[in-house]
Amino acid sequence: MRYYFNSVSVLGSALLVLAMPARAEESNATLNEFSLGGYYSKGDYGQSIDTSIRYFPFSYTRTVGHWNLQASVSRLEISGAGNVLVNVGGLGRDEFDSVQGVASQTQRGLGDTTLSATYQMPAFSSSAPFIDLGFEIKAPTADENKGLGTGAYDYGLHVDLYQQWGQTTLFGTLGYKWRGTSTLFSEMQDSAFVSLGFTRPLAPRWSTGLIYDFREAASANSGETHELLPYLSWAVASQWTLMGYVVKGFTEDSADRAVGIQLNYRW
C-alpha cells in the first residue's frame, strides 16, 4: 500500500509537510482529487508587532500510473510588518525595515501558483520502503509590491520515503529549494528542508499523526525554523476526507501558533 503527503500551508515543507489522509495506490489507476484548505497563523517573528496570515489553497491532483501531477492556486491575506511570506516564514529585521517600516498593514490577493510532479518508484520488495521523487515550480502570481510573494520563480526537489510498521506508517522528506532573485526581498537564499513523521489509524474512519519540520534559513537575515504539527483525519464518506491540524513553532522565524483544515474529494 502506497501513501503520499502534500504540503498545503505556510510551513514550507512541510509546511511546511502537512499530512493528507492515506490513500492506496494502484499502479495502473487514473485518479483525480480536489483539495480545499483553510489556514490561520499568528506570531511576532521577532518583531514588535504580530503578523497574521489567512491562506486558502485550492489544488487539483491527477494520478496516472506512478505519476502524481498537481496544480495549486490560493487566496491570501497577510496582516503585519511585511517581513513574513507564506510557505517561507519570517525573513528577518533588515527585510522588515526595507518593506514597510514598523506600521502594521493588511494586504490581500492571489497567492503564488505551484505546479509539481512526483514519481512513485515501484517497490523493491514487500518489506522495503516506498520512495517518491518530486519536482516543484512556484510561479510568482502573488503581488510582490504588496509583500504577498517574492515576484520570482522558485524550484524545488525532494525525496520522500514511507515505511509500513504494523498499523503505523513512518515517513520522511528531504528536499532543497532554489529561490529566484527578488527585487523586494533581496536577501532570499536557497535552503534545504527535512520532515519526519508518522500516521496510524484510530478507528475505521479516523487516523492521526505527527510531523516534525525543519527548514534552513530562507533569507540571509533570518534563521532556521523548527515546527511540530499533530493532525487528525476523518474519512467522511468513500470519496470525502476532512483533516484538521495545529502547528507549534519553536524558533523566532516560525509562527507562534497556527491551525488549519483541509477537505479532499477524490474519484
Dist CA 223 CA 121 (whole Å): 34
Averaged pLDDT score across all residues of the chain: 85
Per-residue pLDDT reduced to its tens digit, 117-152: 999 998 888 788 999 999 999 999 999 888 899 999
- Other Cβ atoms less than 10 A from the Cβ of 158: the count is 23
Dist CA 22 CA 33 (whole Å): 13
Per-residue pLDDT reduced to its tens digit, 219-247: 888 889 999 999 999 999 999 999 999 99
Dist CA 93 CA 100 (whole Å): 11
| Residue range 253-265: mean pLDDT, rounded | 93
Dist CA 99 CA 78 (whole Å): 13
What cell numbers appear for 79 in the block? Answer: 496582516
Per-residue pLDDT reduced to its tens digit, 168-180: 999 999 999 999 9
Q: How confident is the model at residue 16 (pLDDT cuts 50, 70, 90)?
A: very low
Q: Picking from 44-58, 88-102, 109-123, which range would have the lowest pLDDT averaged per residue?
A: 88-102
pLDDT of the residue at 87: 79
Closest CA to 140 of 192, 80, 91, 188: 188
| Residue range 73-97: mean pLDDT, rounded | 78
DSSP H or E stretch at residue 99: helix 93-99
Dist CA 57 CA 82 (whole Å): 20
Domains recognised in the chain with CATH numbers = 13-266 (2.40.128.130)
Omega of the bond leading into 15 within 30 degrees of 0 (cis) = yes
Per-residue pLDDT reduced to its tens digit, 17-33: 333 333 444 456 679 99
**Residue 30 burial (10 A CB sphere; 0-12, 13-18, 19+):** exposed
Dist CA 253 CA 140 (whole Å): 22
* Distances in whole angstroms, Cα of residue 16 to Cα of each of 53, 239, 252: 14, 26, 15
pLDDT of the residue at 229: 95
Per-residue pLDDT reduced to its tens digit, 30-43: 799 999 999 999 99
pLDDT of the residue at 93: 55
Per-residue pLDDT reduced to its tens digit, 184-219: 888 899 999 999 999 999 999 999 999 999 999 998
Q: Which residues of 162-200 are buried (b: 16+ CB within 10 A; e: fewer)?
A: beeeeeebbbbbebebebeebebbebbeebebbbbbbbe
Dist CA 5 CA 230 (whole Å): 14
Percentage of the chain modeled with pLDDT above 90: 63
pLDDT of the residue at 28: 60
pTM here is 0.85
Residue 238 carries which side chain, given as an amino acid letter?
Answer: S
